[in-house]
A and B are shown apart, each in its own frame.
Chain A
Amino acid sequence: METQRVEKIRLDPIKNLLKVPVDEYYVPGHRTCAGCGPALNYRLVAKAAGKDTIFVGPTGCMYVANTSYLCVPWAVPWIHAQITNGGGVGSGIAAAYEARIRKGKYKGKFPNVIVMAGEGGASDVGLQSLSGAMYRNHDFLYICYDNESYANTGIQTSPMTPYGARTTFTPPGPAVPEGKKLWPKDLARMIVCGHPSVQYVATASIGYPIDLMNKVRKALNREGAAFMHIHAPCPKGWGFPTDRTIEIAKLAIETGMWTLWEYENREYKINKETKKYKPVSQYLETQDRFSHLTAEHKAKIQNFVYQKLATLGIKVPAKAVAA
């Protein structure tokens, strides 16, 4: 059988804000909330990936709020996936291009295939689909944009909703004073630990756009499956003013509630080390979803954050927290 070479697209690193491409592929015409973190994330990812991209959108905010009245806000191809099967749909598109290019049925380069799944679709109902795709190592990037709840359906708890957060399925009350009682999954590390073929896994935040965009490019340049977990605050779900999205995204990193790292060449690298972490209470106090928490609940969260940082090899000084 005569086969054709499957040629990949190469994307160069972005050195600074002035070098960010001006072209937009996530364009006006959607109806996300003011201050929406996931929408900003979409815009940055689309800029970084460029025109030769196919997006897959499992059901979630970035499906429902983006596509209305038979219209979509992408200047590149996009397809809806069920909330259950972002990994499978990404796999299918990658497989189709592998076969079609190899068999001479498609003239062109292998496109950037990006699944943009909410953390519920990624870590909960669609976890099997994600894991299957990572295991098979299809050439695509799976992004979990994390707004820490099933927000599209009205802010219900997901496996990544933090302990103590109020959602419409974890309302605090006299019998359950903390609201959410469970501790969140650590999806990115689950991908690293359980999927030996995957060569690139990274976390990112909309508070650090250059870091985010360069990670997207790195992930796409690699052959095989890559995974990114991107923190994207949600004003409506978390209860903060719409002009504070970026500030809260940064505060998450400054308090250790979120960490920027990448896993490459079988090693973890912390991208933004913080010399002195601020107390998590500073972060919790910015959001209405934590307003019912007692000092005891907050101390539990502080402890959890220390443990999480320690698993990444980050040393937290004993006196890091004054309060």
Chain B
Amino acid sequence: MQAKKFLTGLSAAAMAVKMADVDVITSFPIRPYTGVMMVLSQMVANGELDAEFIHADGEHAQLSIAGAASAAGSRTFTGSSGVGVTFAMENYSPISGGRYPVQMLIADRTLDPPGDFGSEHTDALGCRDQGWLMGWAETPQEVFDNTLMFYRIGEDPRVRLPQFNCHDGYFVSHIPGEVQIPEQSQVDEFLPPYKPVNPLDPQNPVGHGPQIYSDQGPALEAMRANAMMASMPVIEEVVDDFGRIFGRKYPPFVEEYMTEDADFVFFISGAHAHTARYAVRHLREKGAKVGLVKIRFIRPWPTDDIAESLSKFNAVGVVETNTSFGIARGGGILGPEVCASLYDAPQRPLIASFMAGLGGEAITLDDFYFMAKKLSNIAESGRLEKAVYWMGFEE
């Protein structure tokens, strides 16, 4: 029997971390992710969760400690936001290269300057090439579910990779939603205890992370790349098993919403999919052939699933919520990856990026209606007026 609770994304994550019986937690305050650590520290203080709760000396230290604790065989949890995510950057590659399945909750925050608490995905996306699994949750329920699913995927012996468990700051981290909390026995059935491979242990001496001669480099890099690709069938398995045990069925990578007979779609990751659904329903009532495609993972990037989904449409509007100054096509990070996914497809839609929700700005229904108008014109004319639209600066 699952209990219903009304929880923020951060409280939902804390509840999942507790049920996952995490051993070592490393904290450092930065808004907006901080709340998850406030809840976890109270759980430890109450004796509800037996874990080492460590006050790290900064985000770099959070990741240093969590990575080492994972290397020494424990299940670990950490988290951050914004410049905290980038301050820890040095550690991401050693952790994925060491194949330590650390989980890091990221409640997105815009990078400085200027000081800005609002959500933008650039903090996490800036670390997308470091060998970590990465995906966004749209609701507190999805945060809870992803926390459990990501541990299971990352700790799978075929994968052994760390995970960025991301969601939009404030929109998800701080706005409560209904969350079904399962029985502990269900969690135990879904997520077995972590079985480390060759942890640091005097009973079985091993060395982690020695220097190599350059001809040993390619093999090691290929192994990490292969692990990332090998996670795809594991993700499919885990999502299935999650549905079986908890009754909530997620698509492994790509979720389509009202895409049947659609001419054009919004392509999106994260919280703003929530508003986009309303916009799609409203536009459909008015006769527009619009749909929504939401992705649950950015790493691994589900190239084939995206190509299969998007090649059905005439136009795709990528909602970016991130920046990458000077990137191909001059927009955000997702657009070029979407384009690359479709390069080999027999049927290719026209693709435009919409720079929206930057600095924590909400993406309103009107914004989606504006995007729909542009996309409708593109789909109808068969011509891309331009590749990138900056919302709020367009005619």
Report which A residues bind B (CB closer than 8 A): 1, 3, 51-54, 56, 63-64, 67-72, 74-82, 84-85, 87-93, 95-100, 102-103, 105-106, 108, 111, 128-129, 131-132, 135-136
The answer to whether A84 touches B60, judged by C-beta atoms less than 8 angstroms apart, is yes
Write the B18-34 contact mask toward A (1 if CB under 8 angstroms, else 0): 00010110100000000
Instruction: Give the Cβ gap from B112 to chain A, nearest Cβ, in Å.
Output: 20
**A72 vs B90: C-alpha distance when bound (angstroms):** 23
The answer to whether A98 touches B207, judged by C-beta atoms less than 8 angstroms apart, is no
The answer to whether A77 touches B201, judged by C-beta atoms less than 8 angstroms apart, is yes
**A209 vs B200: C-alpha distance when bound (angstroms):** 28
List A contacts of B51 (CB < 8 A): 99
Given contacts A69-B213, A92-B24, are A79 and B65 in contact (CB under 8 A)? no
Q: Which of B166-210 contact A (CB under 8 A)?
A: 193, 200-210
The reply to whether the CB of B47 lies closer than 8 angstroms to some CB of chain A is yes
List A contacts of B212 (CB < 8 A): 69-70
Instruction: Give the Cβ gap from B80 to chain A, nearest Cβ, in Å.
Output: 15
The interface stretch among B66-74, B248-256, B282-290, B385-393 is B66-74
Q: List 17 A-B contacts (CB under 8 A).
A: A63-B211, A67-B207, A67-B209, A68-B210, A72-B207, A77-B207, A89-B65, A92-B65, A92-B67, A93-B69, A95-B52, A96-B74, A99-B52, A99-B69, A103-B21, A108-B203, A136-B54
How many A-B residue pairs lie within 8 Å, measured between CB atoms?
168
Instruction: Give the Cβ gap from A114 to chain B, nearest Cβ, in Å.
Output: 12
Q: Which of B231-263 contact A (CB under 8 A)?
A: none
Determine the residue in chain B with the shortest Cβ distance to A91.
Answer: B65
**A152 vs B21: C-alpha distance when bound (angstroms):** 42
Report which B residues bind A (CB closer than 8 A): 21, 23-24, 26, 47, 50-52, 54-58, 60-61, 64-74, 76, 90-91, 94, 193, 200-213, 216
List B contacts of A136 (CB < 8 A): 54-55
The answer to whether A82 touches B23, judged by C-beta atoms less than 8 angstroms apart, is no
List B contacts of A111 (CB < 8 A): 201-202
Instruction: Give the Cβ gap from B239 to chain A, nearest Cβ, in Å.
Output: 28
Given contacts A67-B207, A96-B24, are A81 and B64 in contact (CB under 8 A)? yes
**A132 vs B70: C-alpha distance when bound (angstroms):** 19
The answer to whether B50 touches A79, judged by C-beta atoms less than 8 angstroms apart, is no
List A contacts of B57 (CB < 8 A): 88, 128-129, 131-132, 135
Given contacts A76-B202, A77-B200, A85-B91, are A97 and B216 in contact (CB under 8 A)? no
The answer to whether A88 touches B213, judged by C-beta atoms less than 8 angstroms apart, is no
Determine the residue in chain A with the shortest Cβ distance to B211.
Answer: A67
The answer to whether A95 touches B24, judged by C-beta atoms less than 8 angstroms apart, is yes
List B contacts of A52 (CB < 8 A): 202
The answer to whether B210 touches A71, judged by C-beta atoms less than 8 angstroms apart, is yes
The answer to whether A88 touches B207, judged by C-beta atoms less than 8 angstroms apart, is no
**A74 vs B200: C-alpha distance when bound (angstroms):** 13
List A contacts of B69 (CB < 8 A): 92-93, 95-96, 99
Determine the residue in chain A with the shortest Cβ distance to B50.
Answer: A1
List B contacts of A85 (CB < 8 A): 60-61, 64, 90-91
**A62 vs B389: C-alpha distance when bound (angstroms):** 53
Given contacts A1-B47, A99-B51, A131-B57, are A89 and B211 in contact (CB under 8 A)? no
The answer to whether B91 touches A70, judged by C-beta atoms less than 8 angstroms apart, is no
A-B pairs with lowest CB-CB distance, top 8 = A92-B68, A88-B64, A132-B57, A80-B209, A67-B210, A96-B72, A72-B207, A85-B64
In this complex, which of B51, B54, B76 has the most chain A Cβ atoms within 10 angstroms of its Cβ?
B54
List A contacts of B21 (CB < 8 A): 103
Sample of 8 further A-B pairs with CB below 8 A, known A70-B210, A111-B201? A70-B216, A77-B204, A96-B71, A99-B23, A99-B24, A99-B51, A131-B57, A132-B56
